[in-house]
Amino acid sequence: MAVSFLNKNIRKRIIRYVFIAILLLPLWMFLAWVISSKRKMVVAIIDKTVLTTNGQEHLSLNWILNYQKFAKNNFELYDRSKDYYGFFPLPDYRYRLKGLERFTSQQLQQLSADADMAYITDAYGIYHNEWYHVKDDKERSQVVYGGMSEQDIEYLKLMQQKHKMVIAEFNCLGSPTSASVRSEFETAFGVKWSGWIGRYFDSLDTTVNLELPKWLIRNYKAQHNNKWPFNKSGIAYVRNDDHVEVLQYGDHLNRDIPFIYSNEEGQNYYGLSSAIKYSYWFEISTFNRAYNHSIADLEVDANDAGRKILNAYHIPERFPVITVHINKDYRFFYFAADFCDNPIGFNTSYFKGVQYFTWLFYNSSDAQERVSFFWKIYRPMMTRILNDYYGTLKQ
């Protein structure tokens, strides 16, 4: 009886200690992050699509920088509301422009000497209707600020010449970037945009999905006998001359949502999932195989009817989405999709080991796909890229 009673008390104590440990776990994780060392790496972030101080378009990058304790100098971590070049929102519809357009060639030379790497997270820009909240923000309007500029490309080429790392992603080549700047970028870095972009929509029903761009619907109807015969999920494709094609689940697609498939290098070295759904904007581009290679492709699963439309417009079903160049001359990564824009909570970046609890942050629903994309693709890949590059800086 005494032994049984003793064992019962021991079990209760163990359960109590485990419960206390679980309650204290977030505190230990936070303290582990606090005591970890800062590592100086100067990252020039270019983001021209910043509607709020939250900095959504570069939030995912700043999450990695903060979690890994990469600092802009020996003392300060990056502030996502301040430490970038581009559009800065202010109260009462005011804003400040602090992009590279104000830099002279001499200043760009100095910046390329001071910075360790450059990352263009978004060059799409800010538009009149969405900024001033007038008319319909789902309609196209005059650009307030945006597009990759001549100063941007001059700076990126300087970084390349200095054997430093450059990362760019959708949308830096499409509108409103000029054709001449786009051509310079494509020539310098060995990528080529086809002129097509696309996006998955969980509903193409205009009475259900109020997020459908009005211009997308209007252009499609103008080009297809004034009809919009869609009410399921699907993928919309837009060419740089505003031509629109739509593939709907069942009618044109065996599977409604695109998938990203990673090759062995992507999985084994960069920690990417072998296959994951992708539910946001992407572009169709290719790369120069003489000095670039791909570690992941995006694939659309079209049926015969869908394939007929794609073939008519020379749109591939599968195309590279992560292009890589790593050599002694420079490092370059190109993401042909909106990789850095994911709806994640920034505060989780203050807890060491949080990646082991990702199951708490998302489920398998399509609505959560952009969150899971961050944890399964962007976070492991960018962690490897930044840690690798930091190692070269210390050599």
pLDDT for residue 22: 62
Show Cβ contacts of residue 273 under 8 Å, excluding neighbours closer than 6 positions: 262, 267, 376, 377
Q: Starting at the earlier edge strand, list the strands of the sheet with 234-239.
A: 244-248, 234-239, 191-201, 281-287
- For the chain, give every domain's residue range: 37-393
Sign of the CA dihedral running 301, 303, 306, 310: positive
pLDDT per residue of the chain (395 residues) written in tens, 0 to 9? 554 545 666 666 666 655 565 667 889 999 999 999 999 999 999 999 999 988 889 999 999 999 999 999 989 999 999 999 999 999 999 999 999 999 999 999 999 999 999 999 999 999 988 888 776 666 777 899 999 999 999 999 999 999 999 999 999 999 999 999 999 999 999 999 999 999 999 999 999 998 899 999 999 999 999 999 999 999 999 999 999 999 999 999 999 999 999 999 999 999 999 999 999 999 999 999 999 999 999 999 999 999 999 999 999 999 999 999 999 889 999 999 999 999 899 999 999 999 988 777 776 555 578 899 999 999 999 999 999 999 999 76
The rounded distance, in Å, linking the Cα atoms of 324 and 165 is 11
What is the 3-state composition of the chain as percent helix, strand, coil, each rounded to the nearest 5?
Answer: 40, 25, 35
pLDDT for residue 290: 92
pLDDT for residue 133: 79
User: What is the 8-class DSSP label of residue 337?
Assistant: B
pLDDT for residue 8: 63
For residue 132, give both structure tokens. Answer: 């001033």
Instruction: Give the Cα-Cα-Cα angle 215, 217, 223 (nearest 5 degrees).
Output: 100
Please report the beta strands in the chain, taking only residues with DSSP state E, as ranges in sequence order: 39-40, 43-47, 70-71, 85-89, 95-98, 117-122, 126-127, 143-145, 165-169, 191-201, 234-239, 244-248, 259-262, 275-277, 281-287, 293-299, 318-326, 331-335
| pTM of the model as a whole | 0.92
The rounded distance, in Å, linking the Cα atoms of 285 and 233 is 24
- Residue 308 CA to chain centroid, in angstroms? 30
The rounded distance, in Å, linking the Cα atoms of 173 and 71 is 29
pLDDT for residue 176: 95
Q: Is 42 exposed, middle or buried, given 0-12, 13-18 or 19+ CB atoms closer than 10 A? A: middle
Show Cβ contacts of residue 276 under 8 Å, excluding neighbours closer than 6 positions: 259, 260, 369, 372, 373, 376, 377
The rounded distance, in Å, linking the Cα atoms of 104 and 107 is 5
Nearest C-alpha neighbor of 269 from the set 391, 164, 387, 390: 387
